[in-house]
Structure 1
Amino acid sequence: MLEHIPMKDVVCLRRGELAFDPRTQTLQPLPLELMKIRGKGAGWECVYFLSREKSCSVYDHRPLECRSLFCADTDAIHKAMAEPTLSREDIVENGSGLWSCIEEHESSFSMTQALHLAKTERDSANAICSELDGLIRREIHFRRVLAEKVGAVDEDLWAYFGRPLWLALLPLNPEFSSYDQV
């Protein structure tokens, strides 16, 4: 996939992040991280899908998931979902400065912790709790500082750090969209 797809067009869905599972037709926490082609804007329509032409601009080099997808018969995509997935460990050299940043991000801004706080808050019907708010704001700061230091925008780093917590939590509560303005 990465021979023909630039990293800026890849996003890491982190372990624990909610993702739609077509086998159960539900949102499920990912058991492992998953690298995939990013969507357009806030949606999941592939950045390579040409809407007017109803075609793919990287068709000859599309990844396994795309080659397996046939809406009339989902057996192939379900089989592809059982195959080992590409992860950040396959892309970033262990022990590198970038790998150290990824490890720091994972330990400081755990998707599992964020989901737990978001679900606890949802069950108690409170507004976004202060602990979760602090976690999200610290992660936004981490991402901004890092992006500034490397001369990038946050979206360019999604392949390495996943989507911001607030965006990954958005399916649980539309109020998380307010962090887009922070």
Structure 2
Amino acid sequence: MPALGQGRLHGECLMAGECDRCGECCRRSTPALHEEDLKLIGESGGLDLVHLVTFRRGELVHDQVRGVLAPLHEEVVKLRSRPHSWECFFLNEDSGDGAGCGRYEQRPLECKLLLCKNPAPLAEAYATGRITRLDIVGGHGAVAELIAAHEDQCGYEELAAWARRLHLDASNREAAETILAAVHFDARAREILTGRLPEMNEEDRAAVAACCLGRPLAETLSMFGLSIARQEDGAIRLSASGTIHHPAARP
């Protein structure tokens, strides 16, 4: 991983006054990538798959413009965040004179446009020209086929509907079995993908999988008010409990 530097977060003066370098914008979310950011991927010192994560269609994400959690209408590829946080992986809190950015000179478009004192430029470009993972890995080949199969078996919009049925009737075996089958398929797809990356460490393999297949279902099912637990015999048990954050999963 590249070292975190001490570059300024948002040096552009988008209005009468510059960024205060408080880092709050970079703690709340990471930028989505746009067509002009493709040139940053794969170049020397640029972004690699380990730095990216895909949020799939139907997944809850933080909307930086509206400041709310909302389901995505289309998938989004974003910079990776720190574990168990929305904070950008490249945020450096120890730069000495305010928050810094580890890749300021090669930052994505949204980072160039974002200034909390003047959100208009980001709002104008926010939902236009976004890229997908197929723009990165290509539309043909084994990885593209695995992505398509994964979407077919693990699509969030269908899972939300099955989660809603389970919340309406906790004894609905069809709903429970369908969701568990998706969890198993998701885990197997990640094994197949990461099995092609023997030279990477476990953390980086998981990061590549998160770019190509999105975040693991075992983690994201919580947005539907669902949780899974592994039993002593290795079996996975599904539980319909907890707060239902996703509107499509609510009874």
Normalising by the residue count of structure 1, what TM-score does the alignment of the two structures yield? 0.83
Shift of 1:177: 6.7
- The answer to whether the 8 A contact 2:56-2:214 is kept is yes
The verdict on how the C-alpha distance between 1:177 and 1:70 changes in structure 2, with shifts beyond 3 A counting, is farther
Shift of 1:91: 1.4
The verdict on how the C-alpha distance between 1:139 and 1:68 changes in structure 2, with shifts beyond 3 A counting, is same
* In 2: Cα distance, 1:16 partner to 1:22 partner: 17
Alignment partner of 1:91: what SS? helix
The verdict on how the C-alpha distance between 1:71 and 1:170 changes in structure 2, with shifts beyond 3 A counting, is farther
Of the structure 1 ranges 143-152 and 46-55, higher mean CA displacement relative to structure 2 is found in 143-152
What are structure 1's unaligned runs of at least 5 residues? none
Question: Which of 213, 227, 232 does residue 176 from structure 1 map onto?
Answer: 227
Q: Deviations over 1:21-56 (max 9, x none)?
A: 244443222111111101011212111111222210
The verdict on how the C-alpha distance between 1:80 and 1:129 changes in structure 2, with shifts beyond 3 A counting, is same
- The answer to whether the 8 A contact 1:40-1:46 is kept is yes
* In 2: Cα distance, 1:177 partner to 1:23 partner: 33
Alignment partner of 1:102: what SS? helix
* In 1: Cα distance, 2:93 partner to 2:229 partner: 29
As a proportion of its length, which structure holds more helix? 1
Indicate the percent of aligned positions where both proteins have the same amino acid: 24
Bigger Rg over Cα: 2
Q: What is the identity, as a one-letter code, of the residue corresponding to 1:176?
A: S
Higher relative contact order structure (alpha carbons within 8 Å, sequence separation ≥ 6): 1
The verdict on how the C-alpha distance between 1:118 and 1:11 changes in structure 2, with shifts beyond 3 A counting, is same
* In 2: Cα distance, 1:157 partner to 1:149 partner: 11
Aligned residues: 179
What are structure 2's unaligned runs of at least 5 residues? 1-36, 237-251
